[in-house]
Amino acid sequence: MKATENSRVSGSASHKLALLGGAPSGVPPKPHYPRFTERARRHIDEVLREGKMVGLGTAHPWLGAAERAIADWQGTQHCLTTSSGHAALHAGLMGLQITGGAEVITTPYTWGASTSPILYNNALPAFADVDPDRGLLDPDSVREAIGPRTEAILVTHLYGQPANMTALCEIAAEHGLALIEDGSQAHGAKHRGKRVGSFGDAGGFSCMGGKLLATSEAGYLVTNRDDVYWNAVISCQHAGGTEDPGRADEEGFPSDLRPYIDSLHYTYRVSVLNAILLVDQLAKLDEENANRTQNRSWFVEAIEGVQSVSVPEYPDGDPVYHMVSLNFRAEHAGISKQTYLAALQAEGVGAFSYIEVPLHRLERLRPSTGAPRTMFAERLERAGMDYAALELPGCDAKVERSFEMSWNWIDEDREAMSRLAAAFIKVEEQLDALRSYERQLR
């Protein structure tokens, strides 16, 4: 469906934009998400009835089942379930012992949950630039950001888009850096046929209720390194020593870590109920991801004639679609992105700018901020970090142009995609009216 194939008389009342007083397009309502199976609800009911709520390690059948299933699916040796994606990334940094003012090169174009674990492990983020089309970490900029204190790279597979792991792995190996992947929006995404999360030394994933692998609130760490796994275990999991066996009772626990088994750890355990949901949701994730991808393909096909947006391409990867990211072309539309989004929203499209302020411009990362004090504020001051002075043009361009739609379309629905696209086509056909609208606002 192209805009030129479905043109209407510009001034017709039936085609007037909802923002300007017309009727909305009839965009289908957002799907109910997440969906849990009757089987999962039955298992949860059984656990609640029996009261088996304490799960300190894989001796609990549901924690063991969840970690085995995820490790197999991810193609990694270890999986450690956690209470959140933030906890998973923090566990990875603790497992790698990245602390003491070490610098971690990472992206400024993401949610703060990627950078917060760096700060809270007493390390320092060093922001590199991103590709302005996809918003993913730029390997050339990563190379330029490497300094004497650099110990790691933390890459985010934002929106479900796989980053260039071939280049980033080469850089990490060349400079002896640890590589950490944030796959919190990318469960199942692949780079050159391999799942993200399995390239680096550690991978952290979020499984909160809006993610691709959705529970209520959970996460997991995956790694192929025994030392990373066990260091993370003693830093954020219960060792045991009670009537309920813990992580220190598991096969392979290193003897050299036994002197350090104590109660000084973060409480990052997953709940038993969320472990049940992880097992059940994982069983249907590949099918749901395939349906999201098919729906995105139909939508992109249907907006082919819409010149106000461009669609990122993925020549060396297979994304999954937690969100669909589009880039606004102001030079064609002749209006601001804010007006364009307002027009789409009035038609019923759930479009929004996911990243409105890049991380390096956040007030709480300024050395002289008046914000409430945190454990990382003094470290930033001593290090003399002035993130706001960074020039990251790729990031600036992506923030300026990008907007997103949540993509919880887990059933194939070509009609819904056509109706969603029709709102974009309607706005495209009424750009002149929106230009006049903007002029009147000045």
- Look up the CATH architecture of domain 38-284: 3-Layer(aba) Sandwich (3.40)
Residue 287: Cβ-neighbour burial (10 angstroms; 0-12, 13-18, 19+): exposed
Q: Are residues 155 and 163 in contact, defined by beta-carbon separation less than 8 angstroms?
A: yes
Phi, psi of 121 (to 5 degrees): -105, 20
Q: Which two tokens stand for residue 176?
A: 């002896």
pLDDT at 442: 80
Arithmetic mean of pLDDT, 379-387:
89
Arithmetic mean of pLDDT, 313-320:
95
At residue 310's C-alpha, the angle toward residues 306 and 311, to 5°, is: 115
Minimum mean pLDDT among 85-94, 143-152, 347-356, 384-393: which range?
384-393
* H or E element, residue 38: helix 38-50
Sign of CA dihedral 391, 178, 282, 292: positive
User: Would you place residue 12 in the very low, low, confident or very high pLDDT band (cuts 50, 70, 90)?
Assistant: very low
What share of the chain has pLDDT > 70, as a percent? 97
Arithmetic mean of pLDDT, 88-114:
97
Q: Please give the C-alpha separations between residue 102 and each of 14, 123, 379, in angstroms, as whole numbers.
A: 60, 5, 11
pLDDT at 239: 85
Q: Are residues 308 and 428 in contact, defined by beta-carbon separation less than 8 angstroms?
A: yes
Average pLDDT, the chain: 94
User: Would you place residue 54 in the very low, low, confident or very high pLDDT band (cuts 50, 70, 90)?
Assistant: very high
322-331 per-position pLDDT tens digit: 999 999 999 9
Q: The whole model's pTM is what?
A: 0.95
pLDDT at 14: 55
Statement: residue 398 has pLDDT above 90: yes
User: Would you place residue 7 in the very low, low, confident or very high pLDDT band (cuts 50, 70, 90)?
Assistant: very low
Statement: residue 343 has pLDDT above 50: yes
Which residues contact residue 363 at a Cβ distance below 8 angstroms, ignoring those fewer than 6 apart? Answer: 369, 371
207-252 per-position pLDDT tens digit: 999 999 999 999 999 999 999 999 999 999 998 877 889 999 999 9
pLDDT at 370: 85
- Look up the CATH architecture of domain 3-32+285-356+393-441: Alpha-Beta Complex (3.90)
Arithmetic mean of pLDDT, 166-195:
98
Letter for the amino acid at 123?
A
pLDDT at 10: 36
Statement: residue 124 has pLDDT above 80: yes
User: Would you place residue 390 in the very low, low, confident or very high pLDDT band (cuts 50, 70, 90)?
Assistant: very high
pLDDT at 240: 81
Arithmetic mean of pLDDT, 336-346:
98
Residue with tokens 């603790």: 94
At residue 211's C-alpha, the angle toward residues 179 and 79, to 5°, is: 45
Q: Are residues 103 and 370 in contact, defined by beta-carbon separation less than 8 angstroms?
A: no
Using alpha carbons, select from 133, 179, 175, 132 the residue that is nearest to residue 156.
179
283-293 per-position pLDDT tens digit: 999 999 999 99
**Residue 244, Ramachandran bin (φ over 0: left; ψ between -120 and 50: alpha; else beta):** beta
Of residues 377 and 211, which shows the higher confidence score? 211
Domain boundaries, the chain: 3-32+285-356+393-441, 38-284
Q: Are residues 181 and 204 in contact, defined by beta-carbon separation less than 8 angstroms?
A: yes
